[in-house]
Amino acid sequence: MSSKRAAIFDVDGTLVDTNHLHVVTWWEAFRQAGHRVPMREIHRAVGLGGGDLIEHLLGDGRDPDGDEQLEAAHHALYATYFDRLPRLEAAGDLLRALAGRGWEIVLATSASGAELSALRRAIDADEVIGGEASADDVADGKPAPDPVRQARDLAGVPSERAVFVGDTVWDMKAAVRDGVTPVAVLSGGIPRADLESAGAQAVYRDAAELLEHLDTSVFADRESSG
């Protein structure tokens, strides 16, 4: 039996401090299109793919012909930050530490294309990232299990040998549906209680705290169980 293990990571809000940039740029995209959407509602929808986020916030009664323009506006606004996306503290160090312990590192994110490239530059740990499951690779984004399953397939491991780290309710639901171990961080701004209700088995302040407690985390538990 293979001893491979996969550490799967969401990116926005988990490794890179971008959730509130998404909130502001989605708010502006909606405003330009004539929609009044409270920022608090946008914040809780961050982590969904663009089309799903629009449907979640505007509902089935919207004119779907405007979705493509909304996504394009958000992308254009967000792209102005590509050269200065802020990595969260110890994000790259966490990935390198896990890789050093034998974990296959894979990203599972709704980002793609130039946005994903910018995020990877921000993380600055390409030498240990073995692959990525992006919005381009799956039919359905989180909270469907598809992105997590695709990431596992890239790593070549079954669900019981994978841990998924994310910062949103959508991340936790996707992990639960795929059968991997869900671990949450608070760096995306979602309350601990919401993450735990969605299935998080452990919650950390951020990547830095997870790295600090790696020896007592679910990662250490999986290593000891073979």
Ranges of each domain in the chain: 5-17+85-224, 19-80
Per-residue pLDDT of the chain (226 residues; tens, 9 = 90+): 468 999 999 999 999 999 999 999 999 999 999 999 999 999 999 999 999 999 999 998 899 999 999 999 999 999 999 999 999 999 999 999 999 999 999 999 999 899 999 999 999 999 999 999 987 788 899 999 999 999 999 999 999 999 999 999 999 999 999 999 999 999 999 999 999 999 999 999 999 999 999 999 999 999 987 6
Task: Give me the count of residues in the chain.
Answer: 226
CATH 1.10.150 fits 19-80, yes or no: yes
Using alpha carbons, select from 2, 6, 8, 3 the residue that is nearest to residue 165: 8
Q: Which two tokens stand for residue 201?
A: 């088995």
- Are the C-beta atoms of residues 166 and 12 closer than 8 Å to each other? no
Per the CB < 8 A criterion, the answer to whether 9 and 107 are in contact is yes
**pTM confidence score:** 0.96
The rounded distance, in Å, linking the Cα atoms of 77 and 79 is 5
Backbone angles phi, psi at 14, to 5 degrees: -105, -50
Q: What are phi and psi of 154, to 5 degrees?
A: -60, -35
The correct CATH number of 5-17+85-224 out of 3.30.470.10, 3.20.20.80, 3.40.50.150, 3.40.50.1000 is 3.40.50.1000
Tell me if domain 5-17+85-224 and domain 19-80 are identical in fold.
no
Collapse the DSSP code of 198 into the 3-class scheme (helix H, G, I; strand E, B; otherwise coil) and give the result.
coil
**How many angstroms separate the CA atoms of 141 and 146, rounded?**
6
